[in-house]
Structure 1
Amino acid sequence: MRIAMIGTRGVPARYGGFETAVEEIGARLADAGHDVRVYCRGAVEKLPAYKGMTLVHLPAVQHKIMETLSHTALSVGHVLLHRTDVALVFNAANAPLLPFLKLARIPVATHVDGLEWKRAKWNGAGQRYYLAVEKLSVRWSKQIIADAVAIQDYYRETYAAGSVMIPYGAPVQERCDDDLLRAEGYEPGGYHLVVARFEPENHVDLIVEGYSRSAARLPLVVVGSAPYAEEYVKKINDLAAKDERVKLVGAVWNQDLLDALYAGSATYLHGHSVGGTNPSLLRAMGAGAPTIAYDVVFNREVLAESGAFFAGPEDLATVIEQAEDDPAACRRRGDLARERARVHYTWDDVAARYERLCLDLRG
């Protein structure tokens, strides 16, 4: 089959969950003999191909609302001139462009992601737009892809729409690179970890506040930043400045170091609340990080019995203290999380399910 993957920043993956999914799935589809074309934007080095995938580089308007849609518009135009058997479109925000593919009789599956309209960065108009494109995705896609059962439930209950559930995969680490951690100034097992973009729905401020209320002996290492949320970033900086145990280290682009940080953490604190199957959560699980997650249905679905949960600063402080008081129990939860990732969230299985979906779309 000829398969086009549209709507992300493309590969190599250096940004987020969509890009990682495209790289992991696309490479495996290419290995299986399919002609995979990935549309990319913003790459410093414009590679013509990567891991068996053909890369098409197109520009985009540099604006938080228009960037994705402008790039996808050009990508759809390219697809119309260079036929494909199936189009996989990532992000419901691209739904206004789906009729062009439908008119060209190109079957489309849209990966709708989480409940984007709940994100605080969108104002009233942005929220209305994301609610509208959810409906358009249902109307104009041959199939909807949900990455969690809870997202499936939402689309069924809200739009009476069926979907196929395909989660993300989790990289599994059997050991931690202790030498790398120590070279970078971290003691294995000697810190609590947050990895998140600084956006309100990821609750980094709540985590810092809850940690500061605790009697934790180990420091809190916070990895992340935000390109647009200046006011929210200031709030986090102000909270961190009041507690010398909190270490804001910014973004970490060295993936080996990031893997080691997950694997070497005493706990991983996960505050994401509006997505489905979150890639950062899966990465922590695959690394065997004992995870304490914000108490929403998505996180409970992914972690199941391997997780501990919090709803506010006070109960987070309590759970952190319990984790330090009983590190053996904490490690057992981490081992359970790794095994759950190994069994339920493998990229080989994810790619096989995408291949079956593409065969079904082509008919």
Structure 2
Amino acid sequence: MKIVYIALKGMPLGGGIEKYTEELGSRLVKKGHKIIVYCSPYYQTRNNEYKGMKIKILPCINTKSLQKISLCFLASLDQFLEKDIDIVHYHAVGPSIFSFLPRMLGRKTVVQIHGIEWKRPKWGYLGKTFFKLSDLSAVYFPNKVTAVSKVLKDFYEKKFGREVVYIPTGVNKPIKRPPKKIKKFGLNGNDYIFFAARLVPDKGCHYLIDAFNELKTDLKLVIAGDAPHEEGYKRILYEKAQGNRNIIFTGFIHGELLEEFFSNAYIYVLPSEIEGLPTSLLEAMSYGNCCVVSDIPENLEALGNYGYSFKSKDYKDLKRCLQTLIDKPELIYEKKKDVAEYVCKHYSWDKIADEFEQLYYEMLKN
């Protein structure tokens, strides 16, 4: 098959959707399929081949609200120039408004839902209205709809009465690394609380900083991540952390350094307000970490009984949870025992690639 993915910020850099496409696309290449991935030009990505996937860079309007949608529009037009396309795969609800275009050439389309976009706090009235309307295109324009969590599947099936196929996010078996590179941050391992996500309001990093500032502990807080077009929010985070030498901002990290941070964390925290199925949480679990998450349904679905939760948007409750774990370390080690085996068994990228391959073949038969 020849499969197109629309569209990513960059490859290999980016966020959860970028990670998803990298893992899925590279496995489909090994199965003998041809993969084209459309990306923006703003994330150090170039027109080339990456892990066997053809990367195509297109221009787009580089603002928070227009970058993704303008990129997806041009990608939806550019795919007309590619011959023998079998499947066009759209990531997320917003870009789904263009998913009718490939069907004009008889190409099969799938929209993958990664979250209920209109719930994200960063969007104003116009943005929320657009994404509520995009929910309609996400379920009615493509040939098939998939969702990365059971929570999302149930939400869209109940709201629109159309079948949504559940195919989750995945993890790789981790490479556990001893603390070497992290020592440049003054860390020795097992001496920090770890947060790894985009620095956008809905990931809730501000709640974590507020909670950490009130903890009685010698642990440090490592905040790994970045985000374009979010200078205002990042400034708020830096101001909250000002004066606390135990808070470390690493910026965007990946590769061996990220693996080291996951391998040697004392506690991993994800205080998000909204998720699809959080890739970073699954990664943290795969490394055998004790994880603390906000109690939104998507986080609890991923976590199962293998971690702890606190009331979403309540930094006082997060502080209570973290202080309890710090004061009673046996509670931390209790959750570390079986978490890696659980998540690697239930969220395997190899299994996910098999499921998407089967779905694509079924679409071509009908």
The answer to whether the 8 Å contact 1:293/1:310 transfers is yes
1:243-322 aligned at under 5 Å gives the runs 243-245=244-246, 247-311=247-311, 312-322=314-324
The aligned residue for residue 61 of structure 1 is: 61
The answer to whether the 8 Å contact 1:173/1:288 transfers is no
The answer to whether the 8 Å contact 1:40/1:57 transfers is yes
- 1:146 positional shift: 0.3
The answer to whether the 8 Å contact 2:15/2:198 transfers is no
The answer to whether the 8 Å contact 1:10/1:38 transfers is no
The aligned residue for residue 77 of structure 1 is: 77
Q: Distance in 2 between matches of 1:252 and 1:63?
A: 19
- 1:81 positional shift: 2.3
Relative distance call for 1:332 and 1:176 in structure 2 (3 A) is farther
1:155-234 aligned at under 5 Å gives the runs 155-173=156-174, 175-234=176-235
* Cα offsets for 1:194-245 (capped at 9, x unmatched): 1222322211111111222222231222223333334433332232125443
The answer to whether the 8 Å contact 1:170/1:285 transfers is no
Q: Distance in 2 between matches of 1:60 and 1:184?
A: 36
- Identity fraction in percent: 24
Q: Distance in 1 between matches of 2:78 and 2:233?
A: 38
* Cα offsets for 1:234-266 (capped at 9, x unmatched): 332232125443x13141324211111122111
The aligned residue for residue 351 of structure 2 is: 349
The aligned residue for residue 126 of structure 1 is: 127
* Cα offsets for 1:333-355 (capped at 9, x unmatched): 13322122211111111111110
Cα RMSD (Å): 1.8
The answer to whether the 8 Å contact 2:122/2:202 transfers is no
The aligned residue for residue 101 of structure 2 is: 100
Structure 1 range deviating more: 337-346 or 49-58: 49-58
| SS at 1:217 equivalent | coil
Query: What TM-score results when the alignment is normalised by the length of structure 2?
Result: 0.93
* Cα offsets for 1:279-334 (capped at 9, x unmatched): 11111111222100011111110000001011122222222122223334313313
Letter aligned with residue 24 of structure 1: E
Could you list the structure 1 runs, at least 4 aligned residues long, displaced by more than 3 angstroms after superposition: 242-245
Aligned length, in residue pairs:
361
| SS at 1:141 equivalent | coil
User: Structure 2: which 5+ residue stretches go unaligned?
Assistant: none
User: Structure 1: which 5+ residue stretches go unaligned?
Assistant: none
Determine if the alignment matches structure 1 residue 30 to structure 2 residue 32.
no
The answer to whether the 8 Å contact 1:7/1:72 transfers is yes
Relative distance call for 1:296 and 1:215 in structure 2 (3 A) is same
Letter aligned with residue 252 of structure 1: F
Letter aligned with residue 218 of structure 1: L
1:358 corresponds to which of 342, 357, 360: 360
Structure 1 range deviating more: 133-142 or 183-192: 183-192
Q: Distance in 2 between matches of 1:278 and 1:164?
A: 18
The aligned residue for residue 139 of structure 1 is: 140
Structure 1 range deviating more: 77-86 or 103-112: 77-86
The answer to whether the 8 Å contact 1:7/1:91 transfers is no
Query: What TM-score results when the alignment is normalised by the length of structure 1?
Result: 0.94
1:331 corresponds to which of 325, 330, 333: 333
Q: Distance in 1 between matches of 2:193 and 2:73?
A: 42
Relative distance call for 1:296 and 1:56 in structure 2 (3 A) is same
Q: Distance in 2 between matches of 1:37 and 1:356?
A: 19
Letter aligned with residue 148 of structure 2: D
Letter aligned with residue 22 of structure 2: E
The aligned residue for residue 6 of structure 2 is: 6
